[in-house]
């Protein structure tokens, strides 16, 4: 087994500052304090790089890239010293929850000085580092593959919807509103204090249907939902960023709950439930929803009463049935992949602190 030592991070990593976000547009990721915030044609780091959120509620968040990236002034870079493994140190920093060390109360901040001063017991054997990173990377690779499969399946569903409901819609078809074919904020019952599945806004994805996790919490007040519902984040910047979820993670007949900043959409018969999610992701709908937001600067919201006024063309029954059949073949695959993702993420998150503390060792 390899050697473990108590060391400051300054012995393991060289930290660097980011720079102001460039104006150019391209395909190179721009990292801010909470992950990717845009894309550029310029880069200021290349190769294996660890990105650490520097400021704000998510400061201390850790990301890994092995390609050209731009790190903005809301983040820091970290590169390994000597022959230490970048991937291992990425996982090591994730396990240490750097946010807990942030200075400042109203504006939490992680600085190079702070990071350099932190001391931890860490594996310093490069062979064991790479073995540990390999175990965790293999799980992340499987998770990433399942996410990409789901993105492809979602794209297939969205393409078919736009083809039949938008691009090939005929003028003779009936003009309808979203509220005619979907219940907006349907009524469900949960007693105050009842323990139920709770979905944090931060766990809702900007780009895919399945959330990154959920918890059990006593119900106090918030929006209630069931499997088959779509949750649309209605507040800025979550709506603009695309936070949307299709609920599949509850038990049969279970009622879940979450933020009051969700709008809950549930399709009426004869429409497949997943159509609510496709509509919520549709570019025309999102432009409409964003254009109707109101409220003070920084706290603008879309209204459920306005959302239901989104207009559509109603296709003939045979087209609706064909889309339903198409989705009936796709959605079960999405759910299977989502369940596998959740299982693998739980395994990875269980192993991470044990591997990084030496409680679980990897055979070399």
Residue 341 domain-assigned (yes or no): no
How far apart (Å, rounded) are the C-alpha atoms in residues 133 and 85? 8
| Claim to verify: residue 191 and residue 230 sit in the same structural domain | yes
Q: 192-204: per-residue pLDDT in tens?
A: 999 999 999 989 9
135: its two tokens: 């175990």
**Range of 187's domain?**
151-317
How far apart (Å, rounded) are the C-alpha atoms in residues 48 and 45? 9
| Claim to verify: residue 28 and residue 116 sit in the same structural domain | yes
Q: Would strands 62-66 and 48-53 be described as parallel, antiparallel, or unpaired?
A: antiparallel
Are 216 and 198 in contact, with CB atoms under 8 Å apart?
A: yes
Domain end point (choices 73, 106, 124): 124
Average of per-residue pLDDT across 289-313: 92
| Claim to verify: residue 105 and residue 162 sit in the same structural domain | no
Q: What is the largest CA-CA distance in the chain?
A: 75
| Claim to verify: residue 172 and residue 298 sit in the same structural domain | yes
User: What is the predicted pLDDT for the residue at 256?
Assistant: 98
| Claim to verify: residue 68 and residue 158 sit in the same structural domain | no
How far apart (Å, rounded) are the C-alpha atoms in residues 336 and 207? 18
| Claim to verify: residue 90 and residue 233 sit in the same structural domain | no
Q: Which of 296, 308, 288 is nearest to 239 (CA)?
A: 288
| Claim to verify: residue 160 and residue 116 sit in the same structural domain | no
Residue 134 domain-assigned (yes or no): no
Residue 140 domain-assigned (yes or no): no
Residue with token string 């594996």: 123
Q: 134-156: per-residue pLDDT in tens?
A: 999 999 999 999 999 999 999 99
| Claim to verify: residue 96 and residue 58 sit in the same structural domain | yes
| Claim to verify: residue 213 and residue 277 sit in the same structural domain | yes
Residue 224 domain-assigned (yes or no): yes
Residue 329 domain-assigned (yes or no): no
Q: Which of 187, 211, 186 is nearest to 199 (CA)?
A: 211
Residue with token string 């990593």: 13
Average of per-residue pLDDT across 37-53: 95
Domain end point (choices 124, 159, 194): 124
Are 270 and 323 in contact, with CB atoms under 8 Å apart?
A: no
Are 70 and 44 in contact, with CB atoms under 8 Å apart?
A: yes
Q: What is the DSSP code string of 85-120?
A: -HHHHHHHHHHT-GGGG-B-SSS-B--HHHHHH-EE
Asked if residue 112 has pLDDT above 70, the reply is: yes
Asked if residue 212 has pLDDT above 90, the reply is: no
131: its two tokens: 């073995």
Residue 24 domain-assigned (yes or no): yes
- 287 SS3 class: helix
| Claim to verify: residue 285 and residue 199 sit in the same structural domain | yes
How far apart (Å, rounded) are the C-alpha atoms in residues 164 and 301? 30
Are 186 and 266 in contact, with CB atoms under 8 Å apart?
A: yes
Q: 223-258: per-residue pLDDT in tens?
A: 999 999 999 999 998 999 899 999 999 999 999 999
Quote the Cα angle for 17-21-27, to 5°.
110
In total, how many domains does the chain have?
A: 2
User: What is the predicted pLDDT for the residue at 360?
Assistant: 92
The per-residue pLDDT of the chain, averaged, comes to 94
Q: 255-281: per-residue pLDDT in tens?
A: 999 999 999 999 999 999 999 999 999
Which H helix or E strand runs over 40? Answer: strand 35-40
How far apart (Å, rounded) are the C-alpha atoms in residues 354 and 350? 7
Residue 94 maps to which CATH number?
Answer: 3.90.220.20
Residue 75 domain-assigned (yes or no): yes
The larger pLDDT score, comparing residue 298 to residue 331, is at 331
The larger pLDDT score, comparing residue 11 to residue 56, is at 11
| Claim to verify: residue 198 and residue 268 sit in the same structural domain | yes
Which H helix or E strand runs over 240? Answer: helix 238-241
| Claim to verify: residue 199 and residue 262 sit in the same structural domain | yes
How far apart (Å, rounded) are the C-alpha atoms in residues 160 and 167? 10
Asked if residue 1 has pLDDT above 70, the reply is: no
Residue 132 domain-assigned (yes or no): no
């Amino acid at each position: 087994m390899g050697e473990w030592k108590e060391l400051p991070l300054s012995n393991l990593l060289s930290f660097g500052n980011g720079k102001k976000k460039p104006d150019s547009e391209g395909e190179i990721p721009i990292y801010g304090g909470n992950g990717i915030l845009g894309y550029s044609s310029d880069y200021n780091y290349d190769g294996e790089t660890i990105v650490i959120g520097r400021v704000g509620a998510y400061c201390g968040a850790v990301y890994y890239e092995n390609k050209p990236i731009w790190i903005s002034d809301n983040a820091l870079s970290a590169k390994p010293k000597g022959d230490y493994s970048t991937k291992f140190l990425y996982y090591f920093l994730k396990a240490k929850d750097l946010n807990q060390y942030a200075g400042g109360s109203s504006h939490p901040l992680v600085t190079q000085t702070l990071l350099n001063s932190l001391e931890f017991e860490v594996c310093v054997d490069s062979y064991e580092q790479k073995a540990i990173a390999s175990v965790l990377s293999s799980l992340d690779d499987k998770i990433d593959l399942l996410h990409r499969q789901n993105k492809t399946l979602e794209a297939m569903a969205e393409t078919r919807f736009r083809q039949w409901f938008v691009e090939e819609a005929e003028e003779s078809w009936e003009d309808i509103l979203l509220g005619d074919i979907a219940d907006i904020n349907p009524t469900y019952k949960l007693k105050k204090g009842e323990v139920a599945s709770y979905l944090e806004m931060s766990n809702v994805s900007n780009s895919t249907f399945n959330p990154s996790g959920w918890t059990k919490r006593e119900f106090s007040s918030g929006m209630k939902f069931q499997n088959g519902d779509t949750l649309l984040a209605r507040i800025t910047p979550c709506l603009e960023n695309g936070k949307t979820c299709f609920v599949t993670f509850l038990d049969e007949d279970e009622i879940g709950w979450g933020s009051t900043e969700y709008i809950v959409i549930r399709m009426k018969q004869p429409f497949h439930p997943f159509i609510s999610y496709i509509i919520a992701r549709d570019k025309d709908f999102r432009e409409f929803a964003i254009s109707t937001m109101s409220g003070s600067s920084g706290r603008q919201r879309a209204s459920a009463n306005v959302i239901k006024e989104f207009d559509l063309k109603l296709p003939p029954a045979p087209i609706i049935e064909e889309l339903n059949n198409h989705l009936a073949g796709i959605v079960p695959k999405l759910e299977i992949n989502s369940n596998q993702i959740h299982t693998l993420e739980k395994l990875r998150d269980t192993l991470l602190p044990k591997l990084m503390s030496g409680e679980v060792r990897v055979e070399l």
